[in-house]
Structure 1
Amino acid sequence: MPENTLQSIVDGPRGIVDHLYSLAPKNALNIFGVMMPNDRVRQEYTTWRDEQLSWREGVALHDQSYHMHSLRVTGPDAVKLLESLAINSFATFAVGRAKQFVACSPEGHVIGDAILYYLDEGDLAVVGNPATTDWVEYNVEISALDVGSRLDPLWSLNEEKKRDFYRYQVEGPNAYALLSELHGGELPEIKFFRAGEISIAGRSVRAMRHSMGGVYGLELSGPWEDRDVVKRALVEAGKKHGLRRIGSLAYFSTVMESGWWAVPFSAVYSSPALKGYREWLSDRSASARMALGGSYYSPNVEDYYATPWDLNYGHIIKFDHEFVGREALEKLADQPHRRKVTLVWNPEDFANVYARLVHDGPTAKHIDLPVAATGRLHYDKVLGSDGELVGHATYPAYSYGERLMMSLGSIDESIEDGTELTLIWGEDGGGSRSPGRVEPHEQVAIRVTVALTPISAAAQDYRKTLTA
């Protein structure tokens, strides 16, 4: 077996779970990724509170040009290859459309998801978490199909410091008014995950209906060389529409607003069928550097895996094609599952974490705002009334629009909305597993109430329009 691979870490004395838990900051992927160059000075353009409100009250401008991998998959068999990896149906997939691409292991556990763009015949792009693009790239390399790929890596791994496309998300109640003004007339009708063409500052812009915060908006993209002139036009014209440029702090809190489980624990570490993939991945790959944190700990890596149903992707599974994991998912379909929910923190328990800072005795794990995750993979224990484990929680985040601290949860599907559960905040061992990333602390219990996801009324209303 080659040295310095993901498989060598899995086979190592610590095992993969302890490896991910104990990653030093210099070796771990940035907790939330690098949204933009010079991220330290661009964490806030105004304040993260003001920026969070913009996608509800004005216009939010997210610059998504830097922090995601983009894998171009090309050739006569490009669609066939991607279809063989996706749980989604490709029956109506065509040029000008996009879809949420979800891939599973042979055992039916989620490897990752991304946005798949059908740019042209034989030309598609997978954009998102490296865990997903790596899996597609590997399968392109080992496939006998007539298909190729080219990776346009995220900025921190991009040696050329140039990308194929810029990508901006413009959303909020005033977004369409702003874009209509720049376009010079009424916008074309664009349905969800469909693309059209608009004009900004004399440049042709590809516009796709999509949302980060779960509200009305369009994702804009075009040639890298056009990025500055398009952004300047958006910022200047957006002043009277309440536009706010969104920094990294607010941007990564959108997962709570939209209810998206952005980085599930990729189910690639234990499947015998994926040994070749683990040997293909280096020990510097994303799957080897996804720092793990939170109160949930199990030496068995499979305890972190999720099925599509656990993340509310059950409705997109379609058994109308052959794909990796199909047989396993057919067997799992009628089994009990977890469901994705919002877990609303008790305000008093939330405030008491901060109160410990001014009292004698051990402090609790500090809650950074607006997003308090301690690793790219953050898993907290969620307990029922008898102290039994009923699920996991991730993305602890504060919403200024809701005035609430919340986590996304994946809990037993039998638990009803309105039920009070307990979330354990802080790590077993008081942070000793992740020195340098987590300070010494004492675990505390946080009362949480099960609620809908997404929780905001604006996001719920927007979702209704997608199926109307």
Structure 2
Amino acid sequence: MKVFEKINGEEMRKTWAERFDSEKSIYGGKSMAFSPAVQAQTSPYGQLAIGEMPTYAQLHSVLIPYEYTGWMDETNSISTTGYIGDWSWLEKIRISGPDVVACLEASTINSYKNLPVGKAKHIVSITPDGKMIGDGIAFREGENQFLLTAGLTMADGQMLKLDGFDIKAETVTSEIYNFHVQGPVSKKVIEKVCDENIDDLGFIRFKDITIAGRKVRLYRGGMSGEIGYELFGDAEDGSFIWKQIVEAGKEFGLRQLGFRSMIVNHLQAFFPTIWIDFMPSNLPKEAQAQTLYRSPVDFGWGNLIDKTRDFPGKDILLKEMESPTHISRTLEWNNEDCISIVASLFDTDQEPLEQMAMPVNTSEMSNGQPPVLPILNKDQQFIGFASNRGYSIQFRKFLSIAYLDINYADLEEEVYVVYGSEGKRQTMIRATVAEVPYKKDNRN
């Protein structure tokens, strides 16, 4: 079964490369740059430590560790102990000036009127037809200053509309590290390494702390679905701070999280991700990617809409909220059907089925076209798409995020995922509709 009739993945990648100099590293040069986490993997003798020699993955021309202690150990730590992960490659833009709020309102669907200094907000940018260009986090550093983080869509002409405003905007990606310390032990680790109590730090708020004499901004938030923190600071201090946290976390079982395991969080805790669960809606028509465009309402983010002002696409979003046609769910893939995929390797009578990368398919995640699969109802009618298929060692299940026709989205309803690439052997996988997020939200 074909997922897309005319989708042009090559056109999508070409367009994106033209918009951003894909040859240029965000860390300042034309060659690949190592992230702070990679730089921290050294022994006292300056060599990579035995047992700490990760392979690398490339994100935005930055090389980050692919895996440390194995994906099973690393993903298991998400809800059992905790981890530190390196998200320094994310785009970071600081904007300031008297028109900063007006600029953000022109660029996103959000309200900033009641956002105090020291607090952050999830922000979303859309096209006039209500589809998402991208999303990110806005940190209010001052009355007229914000730090914005997101993927490459957080740029002038993409999510941001800078023309006509009295503001200063500067890309500071290479100047600031961004580490995630998440999980049940994260608070103990942070308090140990900074030698102070952090009970006063409320959810989605941030403050400055000191770690071994270095200034660090501590933000209480993250994407693990567990209590957690993000750390920001001078990039030159990055590898030093990483080592301090790893050392402090040893007694608590803290793990280092590699790229291979990062997106499991997004699946279990329901954080839909650009290029995986949706595509930026400002791609050219030639890309034929409209099937993968999503609105914030599709993901249950209607609460972000500022209803006190007008902006292009607002009326469309409000109508969607009144009469939604689709909804996001989790799919639990049938265990027996998943086992049959592995069993096909030993079937000498026919071609083996494509195997499922573990815990998620990072190669498809990074090639510019998300690994979406058609979902059918019991009558073999198309009812939606499954994305971000992955294995959860916590739940011992294969899961995926589903974009479903609301008429077939009742919890515990059985649906069918068409598994396998076009032109290769395909099969039907039974799946059960479940809620989002799949795992209990323990962040706050």
2:324 maps to 336
* Counterpart among 62, 65, 71 of residue 85 in structure 2: 62
Structure 1 residues 136 and 269: CA distance shift in structure 2, 3 A: closer
Change (3 A) 1:19 1:185: closer
Shift of 1:20: 4.0
TM-fit CA distance, 1:327? 3.1
The letter of the residue matching 1:108 is G
Structure-1 residue corresponding to 2:403: 410
Q: Distance in 2 between matches of 1:119 and 1:405?
A: 40
Is residue 147 from structure 1 mapped to residue 167 from structure 2 by the alignment?
A: yes
Partner deviation per Cα, 1:307-345 (whole Å, 9 max, x = no partner): 222111122222112333223323433223312111111
Amino acid at match of 1:346: N
Q: What's 1:304 paired with? A: 292
Q: Which residue of 2 aligns with 1:88?
A: 110
Tell me, in whole angstroms, the C-alpha distance in 1 between the residues paired with 2:159 and 2:411: 40
Moved more, 41-50 or 328-337: 328-337
Q: What residue ranges of structure 1 are gaps of 5+ in the alignment?
A: 1-14, 154-162, 272-287, 289-298, 431-440
Name 2:153's counterpart in structure 1: 131
Output the CA distance in 2 between the equivalents of 1:225 and 1:306.
Answer: 38
TM-score of the pair, normalised by structure 2: 0.82
Change over 3 Å in CA distance of 1:106–1:137 after alignment to 2? closer
Pairing partner for 2:8 from 12, 18, 21? 18
Q: Which amino acid aligns with 1:199?
A: T
Q: Which residue in the other structure is 2:228 paired with?
A: 217
What does 1:150-165 correspond to in 2, within 5 Å? 150-152=170-172, 163-165=174-176
**From 419, 424, 435, the counterpart of 1:452:** 435
Aligned to 1:355: 343
Distance 1:450 1:139, change over 3 A: same
Please say if residues 126 and 133 of structure 1, whose CA atoms lie closer than 8 Å, have aligned partners that are also in contact: no
Q: What corresponds to 1:203 in structure 2?
A: 214
- Alignment root-mean-square deviation, CA: 2.8
Q: Would the aligned equivalents of 2:6 and 2:288 in 1 still touch at CA under 8 Å?
A: no
Matches within 5 A, 1:21-32: none
Question: In structure 1, the residue corresponding to 2:394 is in which secondary structure?
Answer: coil
TM-score (norm 1): 0.78
Distance 1:83 1:35, change over 3 A: farther
Secondary structure of the 2:155 match is helix
Specify the SS of the correspondent of 2:312. coil
Looking at structure 2, the residues matched to 367 and 35 of structure 1 have their Cα atoms a distance apart, in angstroms, of 29
- 1:396 aligned partner: 389
Instruction: Tell me, yes or no, if structure 1 residue 110 matches structure 2 residue 124.
Output: no
Which amino acid in 2 is paired with 1:116?
A
Q: Distance in 2 between matches of 1:311 and 1:254?
A: 16
Residues 20 and 453 (structure 1 numbering): CA distance in 2 closer, same or farther, change over 3 Å? farther
Deviations 1:409-463 (A, max 9, x none): 11123321101111111222x2xxxxxxxxxx3122111111122212xx33x15
Distance 2:359 2:145 in 1: 38
**Count of aligned pairs between the two proteins:** 394
Q: Could you say if the C-alpha distance between residues 215 and 135 of structure 1 is closer, same or farther in structure 2, counting changes exceeding 3 Å?
A: farther
The CA distance in 1 between the partners of 2:221 and 2:160, in whole Å, is: 28
Cα deviation for residue 100 of structure 1 reads: 0.8
User: Is contact 2:108–2:159 with CA below 8 Å preserved after alignment?
Assistant: no
Question: Contact 1:35 / 1:248 at 8 angstroms: preserved in 2?
Answer: no
Q: Which moved more, 1:327-336 or 1:391-400?
A: 327-336
Letter in 1 for 2:272: W
Residue 421 of structure 2 is matched in structure 1 by 427
Deviation at 1:137, TM superposition (A): 6.5
* CA displacement 1:71-105 (0-9 Å, x = unmatched): 22222212211112222222211321111111111
Distance (Å, rounded) in 2 between the aligned partners of 1:339 and 1:204: 43
Q: 2:254 aligns with which of 223, 243, 251?
A: 243
Q: Is the 8 A contact 2:117 2:140 kept in 1?
A: yes
Q: Which of residues 304, 319, 333 is equivalent to 1:316?
A: 304
Q: Kindly state the Cα deviation for residue 243 of structure 1 after the two structures are TM-superposed.
A: 0.9
Residue type of the partner of 1:389? F
Judged with a 3 Å threshold, the aligned counterparts in structure 2 of structure 1 residues 135 and 328 are, in CA distance, closer, same or farther, namely farther
Instruction: Map residues 370-381 of structure 1 onto 2, 5 A cutoff.
Output: 370-372=359-361, 374-375=364-365, 376=368, 377-381=370-374
Q: Any idea what SS the aligned residue of 1:394 has?
A: strand
Deviations 1:12-41 (A, max 9, x none): xxx9822448969xx899xxxx99466158
Could you say what secondary structure the match of 1:177 adopts? helix
CA distance in 2: counterparts of 1:19 and 1:326, whole angstroms: 29
SS at match of 1:363: coil
- TM-fit CA distance, 1:111: 1.4
Among all aligned residue pairs of Structure 1 and Structure 2, give the percentage whose two residues are the same amino acid: 27
Matches for 1:258-269 after TM superposition, within 5 Å: 258-263=269-274, 264-269=278-283
Contact 1:127 1:133 in 2 (8 A): no
Distance in 2 separating the partners of 1:102 and 1:255: 17
SS at match of 1:124: strand
Is this contact kept in 2: 1:99–1:117, CA < 8 A?
Answer: yes
Instruction: Mark the runs of 5 or more structure 2 residues left unpaired by the alignment.
Output: 23-32, 39-54, 58-63
Which residue is equivalent to 1:228? 239
Does the aligned pair in 1 maintain the 2:109–2:311 contact within 8 Å? yes
> Which residue of structure 2 lines up, in the alignment, with residue 171 of structure 1?
182
